[in-house]
Amino acid sequence: MFEQNPELLKLAERAEEKASGVFRRLEARAFQNQMKILEAFRARRVSTESFAATTGYGYDDAGREKLDQIFADVFEAEAAFVRHNIVSGTHGITIALFGLLRPGDTMLAVTGTPYDTLQSVIGITGEKGSGSLADFGVRYEEVALTPDSRPDIEKILQKLSPDVKMVYMQKSPGYSTRKPLNNGDVKAVHDAIRTAGSHAFLVVDNCYAEFCEEHEPCYYGADLCVGSLIKNPGGGMAECGAYLAGTKEAISLCAQRFTCPGIGLECGATLGNNKNMYKGIFYAPHTVLQALKTAVFAAALFEEMGYAVIPHADEERSDIVQQISLGKPELVEAFCRGLQSASPVDSHVCPIPWDMPGYQDPVIMAAGAFTQGASIELSADAPMRPPYTVYMQGGLTYESAKLGILSAADEVMKTIASEKK
């Protein structure tokens, strides 16, 4: 492995020194977010009874209801619900879209085309009659970001008709090579559409972004934000699930869609999952800190190696994703191969590109995770298309994730050396 690569070790030493000041800033923010979460636990009087399992209909599940209140407190929202049986972030967002939109409404995406897996939900891709929003008569329009990756307020206002009932924002870049949005962008869009007189729901895909900033989108005016528990807010402890947080109106509508009209949040057995979800949100600021430090180190190291990265090592971060443009498919495969080989689970497996459902191009994924698909754990994935950018995220501990990054970099360097022979 990389221990026999003195050139890489020197680059890593310079990278970590370059990142040290950024680490201190991130640690201070994690401390503030941890204080907020601890206060929510204290205020809601969490006790061992909160972890009790329920079965069947799950009526009167006090632990479930208290966890909903904690998520509302932490996300600075009027209401929230968090459930283990929301199967992914895309599922959570789908609940939001079908909960808030009706036939004849228009969904306006103001951060460009949404992430690949959501496109078939909207009806941009996929078969007609599959049950997408388009099949139910919901129209879709979008506004691209400005060249510097910010919302184009002028064009948003031009598209803002009375039929627009949802303004949709995606903070993380997905598989685009842009910078992530921050909560200042959420506020800018909120202020603009409200000043223009629109009452459209402002919905934010918050995946990968929780606890990267001082506040969450609802603090800046979002009516709803959604995220997956096997990303940031699950803290590496939750093994499935997602949350929705926002206004009482938005949460009520989404709750009727999540179960069925008339039942909403009254039912839903937790089956022993409460404890890990409580632990997850409690661990989240620290675990997110580990992931952010990992991303900063990766950016600094690959900058030292001469590659283009987004964000740069010293830039402010509003999500845990690190983009590294490697330029060649062989180097993307090498990066993922190296990362996988330094994983605690499935280190013997070699990732290869394949045609994943919901994606437009073959995708390669490296993820030796304790929880399948948990991108708060160190992982990397990439669509096999130019400019051959790998999207890396996560890291339960900085120390283990640093080993993974060094292994990935070593494999890239070996592949380049092999090509020169």
> Per residue in 11-59, pLDDT tens?
999 999 999 999 999 999 999 999 999 999 999 999 999 999 999 999 9
Q: Are residues 22 and 120 in the same domain?
A: no
Is 114 contained in some domain? Answer: yes
Q: Are residues 187 and 287 in the same domain?
A: no
Give the closest residue to 234 by CA, choosing from 377, 379, 344. 377
% of residues, the chain, pLDDT over 70: 99
Q: Is 324 helix (H, G, I), strand (E, B) or coil?
A: strand
Domain count, the chain: 2
Per-residue pLDDT, 359: 75
Q: Is 184 helix (H, G, I), strand (E, B) or coil?
A: helix
What residue has token string 């799950």?
Answer: 58
Q: Are residues 260 and 376 in the same domain?
A: no
Kind of pairing between the strands at 201-205 and 164-170 = parallel
Q: What is the CA radius of gyration of the chain?
A: 21
Q: Are residues 322 and 266 in the same domain?
A: no
Tokens of 374: 């948990």
| pTM of the shown model | 0.95
Question: What CATH number corresponds to the domain at position 59?
Answer: 3.40.640.10
Is 40 contained in some domain? Answer: no
pLDDT band, residue 1 (cuts 50/70/90): low
Are 322 and 299 spatial neighbours (Cβ–Cβ below 8 Å)?
A: yes
pLDDT band, residue 215 (cuts 50/70/90): very high
Is 316 contained in some domain? Answer: yes
Per-residue pLDDT, 177: 87
Q: How far apart are CA 88 and CA 95, in angstroms?
A: 11
DSSP letter string, 389-414: EEEEE--SSHHHHHHHHHHHHHHHHH
Q: Which amino acid is at 395?
A: G
Is 378 contained in some domain? Answer: yes
pLDDT above 90 (res 4) = no
Q: Are residues 191 and 139 in the same domain?
A: yes
Given 281, 313, 331, which residue is the final one in a domain? Answer: 281
Is 39 contained in some domain? Answer: no
What residue has token string 């939900």?
Answer: 121
Q: Are residues 276 and 137 in the same domain?
A: yes
Given 240, 258, 281, which residue is the final one in a domain? Answer: 281
Question: What CATH number corresponds to the domain at position 414?
Answer: 3.90.1150.60
Average pLDDT, the chain: 96
Residue 387 domain boundaries: 2-33+283-420
Q: Are residues 229 and 362 in the same domain?
A: no
Q: Are residues 329 and 217 in the same domain?
A: no
Is residue 348 packed enough to be buried (19+ CB in 10 Å), middle (13-18) or exposed (0-12)? exposed
Q: Is 380 helix (H, G, I), strand (E, B) or coil?
A: strand
Q: Are residues 196 and 332 in the same domain?
A: no
Given 281, 300, 334, which residue is the final one in a domain? Answer: 281
State the Cα angle at 6 between 16 and 349, rounded to 5°: 85
Is 133 contained in some domain? Answer: yes
pLDDT tens sequence across 83-133 = 999 999 999 999 999 999 999 999 999 999 998 889 999 999 888 999 999
pLDDT tens sequence across 179-192 = 999 999 999 999 99
Per-residue pLDDT, 360: 78
Q: State mean pLDDT over 74-78.
A: 98
Are 169 and 205 spatial neighbours (Cβ–Cβ below 8 Å)?
A: yes
Per-residue pLDDT, 388: 96
What residue has token string 């490296």?
Answer: 366
Give the closest residue to 392 by CA, choosing from 324, 327, 297, 293. 324
Are 7 and 413 spatial neighbours (Cβ–Cβ below 8 Å)?
A: yes
Q: Which residues contact 105 (CB under 8 A, 6 or more apart)?
A: 138, 139, 163, 164, 165, 166
Q: Are residues 263 and 324 in the same domain?
A: no
Q: Which amino acid is at 173?
A: P
Is 38 contained in some domain? Answer: no
Q: Are residues 273 and 387 in the same domain?
A: no
Q: State mean pLDDT over 232-250.
A: 98
Is 400 contained in some domain? Answer: yes
Q: Are residues 151 and 205 in the same domain?
A: yes
